[in-house]
Structure 1
C-alpha cells in the first residue's frame, strides 16, 4: 500500500556538514518518510515549531548551539519536549557524552560511523511509536466528539470524567517508549467501552 504524503512522519536530521546530511538521507531513504534538514541548532528549533516530527537525529559537535544545548532546548518547550532525540557523534567523543545526552533526555546515542541497518532499525521504532500515538489521539478525539454531541443529562459529569481519563492516557503515551504503547492502547479501548456503557445508561 502506498503511503500518502500526509501520512508520512517527519524525521529531522541536524548536522552542520552537508556530507553528513547526505549520508543520513541515503541511509534513511528506504524508510520512505519525510526527511527535513537543519544545519544548526537554531534551524532545528525553528523547524520543530513549524511541523510535527517522529524523531530527531542530532549531531553533537556543531558550532554555536551544539547538540547538547539544542536537545536541552527541545526538551524545554512544551510543543517539542516529547519528540525522541537520537544523538550522533564521532569516535573521538568524550567518555561522558552518552551520560550527558541521556541526562538531558535523549532517547538514544550512536557513534559514527554507525551501522546503516542499526540506525534504520532504531529510527523505525520511533516511527512506529509515532504512528500508534497518532492512532490513539484520533481515537481519543473521536470519543470526545461523541461526548460533546450528547445532550445534557444527569450523567454528563461522568462523561467528563471519562474524557479526562482519555487525556491522561494520551499524556502517558507521549512519555512512553516501545511495547508499553500497546498496553496504553488497551487502556484506551477499555475507556471506550466505559463511555459506551455510560452513554447507554444516560439515554435509557
Structure 2
C-alpha cells in the first residue's frame, strides 16, 4: 500500500463524467496535493486498496456502482473504513439523500454546481485531520518503542552497526563488573573507584546513540585494564 509523502497527501476524486473530474482538479490544484482520478466505483475501490488517501470526493449518481454503494464498500473494508468521504450530489438531492449518505458513514456533502472556496475549505478540514492523525500515530509508535525497549530506527542512531556496537559495549561492561567483583576483595578504595566508573558508563549506555559507541568502548577498555591490575595485585 503506497503512502503519501509527509509534505503531500492524496485526494481521490470519483466521477464518471470527465468534465466533472477536470473541474475538481482545477479547483483543488491550488492545494498542492496529489490528485488521483477514478471514473467509477469499482475503479475507486481498486485505487484505495493500492494507496492511502486523506479524503475521497465521491459522486453519487454514477452508472453501475453508484456513490452510495461505493461508500458502503469503502466503509466495509478495514483498510479503507476510516477514510472520510465527501459525497457530491446534484441539485435534486433531498433530505433522503442526506440521511442515506450519513447512515453509510459519509463525512460531508457537496452540491453541484459547487462553490470553489467551499470545496477547498471542506477538503482542507480533512487534510488537516489526516496530518494530525499521522503525527499522533508517529508519536504513539515512538512511545511504544520507548515502553518496550525497541531499538531506535537506523536513521536516528547513525552508521550501520551502531546498535550492535552499543549492545557489545553492554555485554563487555557486564563482564567487567563480574571480573571486578571477583578480583576486588581487599582492594576497597580501588574497587570503589571502578564501581563508580561502572555506574557512570551504565547510565551513559542507557541513553546511548550510535555515534557514542567508540567513546564508550574506550572507557570500558580502561576499566578492563583497571580490573586486570586488581587481579594482578591480588595474586602477587
TM-score by length of 1: 0.70
Question: Which runs of at least 4 in structure 1 moved beyond 4 Å after TM superposition?
Answer: none
What is the CA-CA distance between 1:148 and the residue it aligns to?
2.6
CA distance in 2, matches of 1:106, 1:54: 14
Question: CA 1:150/1:111 → structure 2, altered by over 3 Å: closer, same or farther?
Answer: closer
**Paired residues, what number?**
149
Give the corresponding residue for 2:84: 84
Match of 1:37 in 2: 37
CA distance in 2, matches of 1:9, 1:115: 22
Residue 146 of structure 1: SS of its match in structure 2? helix
Structure with more contact order per residue of length (Cα contacts < 8 Å, sep ≥ 6) = 1
The aligned counterpart of 2:24 is: 24
- Superposed, 1:47-66 pairs within 5 Å as 47-66=47-66
Show the counterpart of 1:127.
127
Task: Give SS of 1:140's match.
Answer: helix
Alpha carbons of structure 1 residues 141 and 150: separation in structure 2 relative to 1, 3 Å? closer
State the alpha-carbon separation in 1 of the partners of residues 19 and 150 from structure 2.
56
**Structure 1 residue 110: deviation in Å?**
1.1
Q: Aligned partners of 1:150, 1:74: CA distance in 2, in Å?
A: 34
1:1-204 correspondence runs (5 A): 5-149=5-149
Residue 7 (structure 1) shift:
2.4
Unmatched runs of 5 consecutive residues or more in structure 2: 152-205, 207-236
Q: Of the two, which has the highest radius of gyration?
A: 2
What SS is found at the alignment partner of 2:65?
Answer: coil
SS in 1 for 2:54: strand
Cα offset, 1:119, TM superposition = 0.6
Distance 1:120 1:94 in 2: 23
Q: Secondary structure at the match of 1:87?
A: strand
Q: Specify whether residues 150 and 76 from structure 1 end up closer, same or farther in structure 2 by C-alpha distance, changes over 3 A only.
A: closer
Instruction: For residue 56 of structure 1, give the secondary structure of its aligned residue in structure 2.
Output: strand
**C-alpha distance in structure 1 between counterparts of 2:48 and 2:78, whole Å:** 11
Displacement of 1:147? 2.1
* CA distance in 2 between partners of 1:150 and 1:22 (Å): 47
Counterpart residue number, 1:178: none
Flag the 1:146–1:125 CA change in 2: closer, same or farther, 3 A: same
